Amino acid sequence: LAKAKDKLRVYAVDWEALYDNPGNANAAAAFAGHQYAVNLMGSTRKDAGSAENFHRYDFDYYEAFANAVKEFNPNPSGGTQAIGTGAPSSSLLHFAQISSTGANANSWFLYPKTKGLADESLMKKGYFGKASIWRPGLLGRGDKARTVEKFASCFVSAMETDQVAMAILGVLKRPADFTDHGEVGKCEGSSPNSIVRLFHNADIRKITPQWKAKKDEEKSDL
């Protein structure tokens, strides 16, 4: 963070306005002029207050994010969403989206269903030449962990959020990690204009072997 502080910019986004109008000029400062975009938004039903609000945050706002990135980073060669053209409509080099293990658009349960719907929507868009969907399992969120997460951590090793972040950055910086790990993400209606890959816990660990070495070194210094 110290190294990035001179490059870090924080923007307030009116997500309701952005959802209604992805080309909203007020969003240009936050969304224009990028080569990479990473959506790490996420909530829970409890935090959202209702199932309806949760869907709004974890699906509708995901849509608003992707649409805004596409609108403000168009393909200068005139890309199109037309099926079979092979031309993504955005100039973005890579779009990454956080999801969750067990994401399934056909699930009867709110959380995995919403995550699955968001994943399938990205697969169908064809906006971005390369896109990755990240499906980590139980995350180690420290003091922010919910009761069920604390209980689950007694039986399953939680993955720390900074390891997930390191894996995403690794894939953005090293194209080989994108092609060598994960699996192709497809669903009915997937666009051929975008290469989408799914990354799970095992993939995250393979991409970040240096993360474990760093953590072991930190423990030895204690």
Which comes out higher in pLDDT, residue 80 or 43? 43
List the one residue out of 117, 136, 138, 139 whose CA is nearest residue 198: 136
H helices of 26-108, in order, are 28-31, 45-48, 51-55, 61-72
Q: What is the pTM of this model?
A: 0.85
* Largest CA-CA distance found in the chain, in angstroms, rounded: 57
Contacts of 29 (CB under 8 A, 6+ apart): 11
pLDDT for the residue numbered 81: 43
Mean of pLDDT values over 151-172 = 80
Q: Is it the case that residue 83 has pLDDT exceeding 50?
A: no
Token digits of residue 105: 């658009």
Token digits of residue 164: 């997930």
Predicted confidence band at 90 (pLDDT cuts at 50, 70, 90)?
confident
